[in-house]
A and B are shown apart, each in its own frame.
Chain A
């Protein structure tokens, strides 16, 4: 049996989409217990209730922040029975939508029904914040940070840091645009001003430190401050994924 945790719908369109998911789940024979997060019942509490009731398949439906909170709680509960997670992302702008976004709710329920499971790596910010999306550091002004990664150490000034659940690191430094003349020329020519100096690294373990504590965000929620250690937990979570589709060529005989 499936245990559904819906996010509180933000728009009327989302409400209709959620209702359709419920209907299709019933039609597909994968209906289970349906819950909805609210200020009175957080996604973490609902996850805990689901695990206590011995559900082994939890379906998270909503935006990245909602899904991430459920992921983190599942891994923190460390349940003895292996828990599988189903994801239906409803934010087309989000990272998870690419893999778990569905235009039609029917496709989402089809994925849940066929239960193709894959094990995914998950990032962990000490002491107990897990994430499958990404964490961000966005200081108000360019700030010097020190990164200690595996076998190297780097020092740089950043405007933005993003680290994915697989521990890919993206550092961005917005380079200052030129003087008034070049700015005016760019404006006249319709060119965008300024460049971004990007660095990309892969890591297994990251330590980030800075002179002043910088907030570390997961989906606009501050979860820690620098200095902080970030790890990668390999194959930490079973997640239901889309089936591979076999595309047959249309033959004309």
Chain B
């Protein structure tokens, strides 16, 4: 690896000499390793490593950014000069110059605590585990296909700013996944069931895979795929929903995570992902959810995908409330956004996907606080006379201001008299964000709280991916509009 510290310092110096009022340089490397299988064989074993640097500068109140995969002093200097030239040009179109909230200079390191480095685990043990999952699942009559995979990702970055920070971070994430398909060939029908861990990647080492009960659960997952295939179709109408953390995390992501991004709320994402109904004049006024609803942002949650020591502005990460007892009170911000809502410090939400990406506001981990009583999922089900319990996430869509959404899950249970009585299929639900969160009437406790998340949350132009987790307990919502998604045999 090249001497990144001296290259970074040199680039910052070059930018300053060219008149930049601020500059930062990020060396950024991604390593990936994956094993993929289907049924009785491996379909792919691979790895990759990509590295480069990005330099971001401020001049005359405008940003410039240049990046390259060529790691030489000449190239770094060329990029610094180019970034300053871009900032100079863009400054002619800036009407409100960029103002950065202050941040101390840090010289520090941070890394994901892991037990087993997934890049060192013998390939054979990864392959054997996945093929054992497939074999176990396919023992179930009616289960026809099983695909499984493990992907390990290591993100290393070294950040240097003209304000004196030198920060090195190494983040390790891992994503096991499998899905079983049951097929009724004669009837031309099929149903799929993924293990819930498929929507719950984490910051962790290979120990996460070993402890995930992948093989132990394989029969149940396959049996549920077969059961889903034969399950009765849901009756639509206003229903009580019990949402498992394997499902609810994505609803939180879409209906709370994105609306509370300050750049969205102020129109900076209008051309792509859209804006937000949660505009600043509603801060401290909007009853976003019921009093049971406290949702917080946190880039320090152990194991969560967006956790790190410092963001890509060099700001130390922390935790803060977005919604407290139902009241909307906070936003996600970066250094260049804090002043927009008269805050004096950034919340530390800057992130760039890779060396070639401009850092901007990305979602921290956004989680629902567990309830005061330590209720388990079974307790929430037992307290419900008539409802539908949803596990896993499937189809999800929400409008460009985050009002109207429609979600579906991987598996649906009809709940009667406090018990899961039978599987259902074709369940979707439509709601409005504020109406939905105000219908929250029972929140599980720490016992049912779990982290779900996505490696690929998209935002920005050019689009960038962000890895983010959402913790939540099993929770209950009343009078939600459940729809039946089966249109087979229906005429348009």
Tell whether A pairs with B. no
A residues with CB within 8 A of B: none
